[in-house]
Amino acid sequence: MTTPSSIITDIDFDRDGKQVTTLNLPHSPHEDAWGVMPIPIAVIKNGTGPTVLMEGGNHGDEYEGPIILGEIIRDLDPAEIQGRLIIIPAINTPAVVAGRRTSPIDGLNFNRCFPGDPRGTMTQQIVHYVHDILFPLSDAFLDLHSGGSSLDILPSAIVEPSGDAGLMQKNLAAVSAFGAPYTVVLNNLGETRTSTASAVRAGLITVGTELGRGGTVSLDALEIGRRGVRNVLSHLGVMELAATPQSTVGQRRVVRVPDAAGYVYAPAAGVFEPFHEKDTAVTQGEPAGRVHFLDDPARLPVAAYYKCSGRLYARRQPGRVEPGNCVAVVVVDHEPQEDH
């Protein structure tokens, strides 16, 4: 038997129109005996049609998603859609308010906590609500991420792989409809505790993104995301666009991260000097950059090397690194037969 959620809300998921309110999670810190953590949520519904769950703020230092979803909440008329949108622009609210990747309350990474725990920490309880309450209501899931504080990344739409060939093709079609410059097949090194991996297991058509860079708000990424979300809603039959869905300027590519070989890690603590700009062709065995030891100028820098050939998709944003920090990510061309 499923344990009920502690979250309280006045949302009526079956009511037509626009409702903007909060999910209220009981929270009793030192400063407040009987308080709640309010998590903003909106439901926009008109008649019958697909239900699309849209989430931003999974990581609190990734800003484009919350901005885009906030605009939709404010601007979208229910008459423009056919179906239901469940929109949570700042799902990991404590992290969003703090501007941090992880929650300042329990230190957890929201995107490594699925399926959650209704009697766990605050992050685990929010995750449980998404997994056990919202996923069953939904037909599709959009999870809007950006590079956050630690990565400078190419704006892209993400395909979470599925062992179900039919669902994989639906995911590829939806992500392609998003229209980002890059479509990336990415399984997070086989991590099963992410929101997109869990949504795929639940059978939802799933679209992820990596939009911005370096913990800033990127104007080009915002434009890609604004257009992409509406493209996907059109693709799913929830809304009509005034014109044919548009992709971004330039040629689009479908690529994948080749599991462990695609990641380059810092070999030592120090300051990392990258050798290449994003979207550069790189070669296996070539140095990706080197770590300098600023407090020991007589010590030679230590290089980090690419483990595969491809194109540089993302690189470390802060200069200072510790051993094991990801300093570069390489993608290779994705072959269609790899989807089966």
Q: How many CB atoms lie within 10 A of CB 118?
A: 18
Q: Where are the domains of the chain?
A: 17-256, 259-339
Predicted pLDDT at 3 = 77
Tokens 């690189």, residue? Answer: 315
Chain segment 106-140, per-residue pLDDT in tens: 999 999 999 999 999 999 999 999 999 999 999 99
Question: pLDDT tens digits, residue range 87-98?
Answer: 999 999 999 999
Q: Provide the whole-model pTM.
A: 0.91
Integer CA distances (angstroms), 323 to 148, 230, 271, in order: 19, 41, 11
Give tens-digit pLDDT for 270-308: 999 999 999 999 999 999 999 999 999 999 999 999 999
Beta-carbon contacts of 263 under 8 Å, excluding residues fewer than 6 positions away, are 189, 257, 307, 326, 328, 329, 330
**Lowest-pLDDT range, 15-24, 27-36, 99-108?**
27-36
259-339 carries CATH number 2.40.50.100:
yes
Q: Is residue 340's pLDDT more than 60?
A: no
The reported pLDDT for the residue numbered 201 is 98
Contact 63, 211 (CB under 8 A): no
Q: What is the CATH number of domain 17-256?
A: 3.40.630.10
Interval 223-252: pLDDT, tens: 999 999 999 999 999 999 866 555 544 456
Mean pLDDT over 313-337 rounds to 92
Terminal C-alpha separation, the chain: 35
**DSSP one-letter code for 92:** S
pLDDT at residue 65 in the model: 95
pLDDT digits (tens, 9 = 90+) for 32-91: 999 999 999 999 999 999 999 999 999 999 999 999 999 999 999 999 999 999 999 999
At residue 5, the pLDDT reads 94
Question: Tell me, what's the pLDDT at 309?
Answer: 98
